[in-house]
Structure 1
Amino acid sequence: MTFALRAARTDDLEPIYEMAKLTGGGFTNLPPDRDALTAKLARADAAFARREDELGDDQFVLVLENTASGEVRGTCQLFTQVGQQWPFYSYRLTTLTQHSQELDRTVRAELLSLVTDLEGCSEVGGLFLHPGERAGGLGLLLARSRYLFIAMHRRRFADRVLAELRGIIDERGGSPFWDGVAGRFFGMSFQEADYFNAINGNQFIADLMPKHPVYIAMLDDDARSVIGLPHPSGRAAMKMLENEGFAYEGYLDIFDGGPTMTARTDRVKSVAAAKPLEIERCDLDYGERAIVATGELEGFRAAYGMREITPEGTVAIDQAAAGALKVAPGDVIWSVAR
């Protein structure tokens, strides 16, 4: 069974919608709403069609397809420049140190400050793999193929890239962080606010959220205990991001308190390692396991395969990978070791 990542099309709406219903909430980039998903796919169509090879305000949607059955079983997204349609808000975890000479005492208070520091960054997000396919490394294929796409279209992406990880969601679908912080000002449940944000954007945060820093010591224990922690299902994703060179630098999602990871785009491991090579042959029986990709924009495809880089600077790949990518000798692929 072979899977390939490809550009999403408008007729992928229904399988993407069915996957969105399985997320359990907290996936702002994948709302279970047909109208919102239709708008995302339309925006992605425009991004794939734009021919100017420069940074813009684009959103790309990719899907993971079973090449034998044609079923869509996963999806992910890339945003070339966040904060262009509306502000991109985060909380920044900071420390305020104060000293009293009379008491001879130093007090350090941790604060949450509402910031737009990450505005203008690129973002990798919206990654979801169907629960029936969570084996065989398909999550890794989804995640790392995005970096190949960035490398292959480098001028369209910013010099800094971020990834937001979903925070802790309780068994009721609520967020202890939201209940302890923003929920006190909005009169909305986490699910209501998360859904509204996914459909309408987060300008309502700017309109209603107090701009003064929040002292963490004044939050309840439940809210404090989840600050900067990923949802249990996102721990593996956080490890993958760290392996790519991303780091948590105190930025939090304003809704669920999950960590926002950041990296310099050119220092992301898979971006830096990816280089174009011409295919010499497609009959490799044994070689280095790799993620291989080809095509530009709407023609992009990525899959697992085997590769052998020749002394002449060409590459040999296996027949299954060639079939998944629809390539032949003489074509060009990009690849990174698995």
Structure 2
Amino acid sequence: MSYRVRPARGDDFAAIYEMAKLTGGGFTNLPADKAALVDKLQRSQEGFAKTEDVPGDDLYVFVLEDPKEGVIRGTCQVFGMVGQRQPFYSYRISNLTQHSPELNRTFRAEMLTLCTDFEGASEVGGLFLHPGARAGGLGMLLARSRYLFMKLHRTRFAERVLAELRGVIDDKGGSPFWDAIAGRFFGMTFQEADAFNGVHGTQFIADLMPKTPIYTAMLPESARAVMGVPHPSGRAALRMLEAEGFRYDGYVDIFDGGPTVSAPIDQLRTVRESRELTFSGAHDEGGNTMLVASGRLGNFAAACGKVRMEGDSAALDGETAALLGIQPGETFLAAAR
């Protein structure tokens, strides 16, 4: 595999913008807005340049690159801590049980409550793989590279990490969940609100959204049916997140009702099982195919390659060593695929 994941640079803008236009909407972290993407790349460069190794309101944007062909076929993002610039809103699904002695009946009502329970957590998001590259394990490489970056820079991240998955969107680009709730208060279509959020953030939610709980029994079936359900294109992403250790615990996105999953960072499979090894040199024979990563901040790189372990040291095939830019005596992380 000749691809690697590396930090995004300013000259990656055109490729990222072209991918943003392919998302089809509902992809808040990758808006098809030039100014918003320029701001993201600038913010990411500031995050990589930050000298303090502490959690903060940082953004790290990565790209999936084939250096031989000079093409970029994917992107992903990691947020140091959410809810620092603006509140990070979610809907929490809960139940209220009420009993009437006169009727001798018990009622259990399901409710949506606006909350900021994930404030201060880290987040992985913005993952998009070009339609022409959705094979050969590239999605796995792109997704799991984020966890290796977090392990290599552990003190920059919180105790928990979350991921929001895009919810169900109809054939016309609308959201049944949005239409049933927020659309009634904002006078905006889902596409308009999603585009606005991608550029300006969620403060307008705090300004206009009712703070009282919403009884789901009052919503149409079309909205109830999609709560906590990922977009069909996101089902594979959800399976990868679950295999990593993420769990759904009744939180949904305030725009489209898609599921929000979370996990303790140190319990993520890739973080927990990856090993730090000393690079002993390049080899051209044998070894196990593994996910590998090395480098600090702007020099970070991740790839898949052949690893031949020798105790706490390991040799890498020459192509992978070149992709990482690693020299003998330097350390790298290796995780089973």
TM-score, normalization by structure 1: 0.98
2:328 equivalent in structure 1: 329
CA drift at 1:284: 4.5
Please identify runs of 4+ aligned residues in structure 1 that moved more than 6 A.
Answer: none
Partner of 2:106: 106
1: CA distance, partners of 2:22 / 2:277: 39
Q: Which residues in structure 2 correspond to 1:174-193 (within 5 Å)? A: 174-193=174-193
Secondary structure in structure 2 of the residue aligned to 1:282 = strand
Matched AA of 1:273: E
Give secondary structure in 2 for the equivalent of 1:74. strand
Matches within 5 A, 1:255-270: 255-270=255-270
Query: Counterpart in 1 of 2:63?
Result: 63
- Matched with 1:246 is 246
Report the Cα offset of residue 288 of structure 1: 1.9
Match of 2:24 in 1: 24
**1:272, distance to aligned residue in structure 2 (A):** 1.4
Give the match for residue 83 of structure 2: 83
The Cα RMSD (Å) is: 0.9
Q: In the alignment, does 2:20 pair up with 1:15?
A: no
Report the CA distance between 1:114 and its aligned residue: 0.2
Residue 40 of structure 2: aligned partner: 40
The residue number in structure 1 matching 2:202 is: 202
Alignment partners' CA distance in 1, 2:196 and 2:73 = 26
Aligned to 1:97: 97
For residues 284 and 249 of structure 2, the distance between their equivalents in structure 1, rounded to whole angstroms, comes to 43
Q: 1:328, CA displacement in angstroms? A: 3.1
Report the secondary structure of 2:111's partner residue: strand
CA distance in 1, matches of 2:108, 2:317: 58
Aligned to 2:315: 316
Equivalent pair of 1:163/1:262 in contact (CA under 8 Å): yes
Aligned match of 1:72: 72
Code of the aligned partner of 2:323? A
How far the C-alpha of 1:321 sits from its partner, in A, is 1.1
Q: Give the C-alpha shift of residue 308 in structure 1.
A: 2.6
1:223 aligned residue: 223
Contact 1:284–1:307 (8 Å) recurs in 2: no
The answer for the alignment partner of 1:4 in structure 2 is 4
Structure 1 unmatched runs, 5+? none
CA shift digits 1:124-159 (9 cap, x unpaired): 000001111011110110000000000000000000
Aligned sequence identity (%)? 59
Please list every run of 5 or more consecutive structure 2 residues that lacks an aligned counterpart in the other structure.
none
2:300 is the alignment partner of 1:297: no
CA distance in 1, matches of 2:185, 2:73: 39
Distance in 1 separating the partners of 2:54 and 2:186:
39
SS of residue matched to 2:283: coil
Tell me if structure 1 keeps the 8 A contact 2:287–2:309: no
Give the Å deviation of 1:24.
Answer: 0.2
Q: Distance in 2 between matches of 1:309 and 1:111?
A: 53
Partner residue of 1:118?
Answer: 118
TM-score under structure 2 normalisation? 0.98
Aligned residues: 337
Task: Determine the structure 1 residue equivalent to 2:287.
Answer: 287
Shift of 1:64: 0.5
1:53 Cα shift?
Answer: 1.2
Alignment of 1:144 onto 2:136: no
Aligned equivalents of 2:314, 2:306: Cα separation in 1: 10
Q: Is the 8 A contact 1:183 1:189 kept in 2?
A: yes
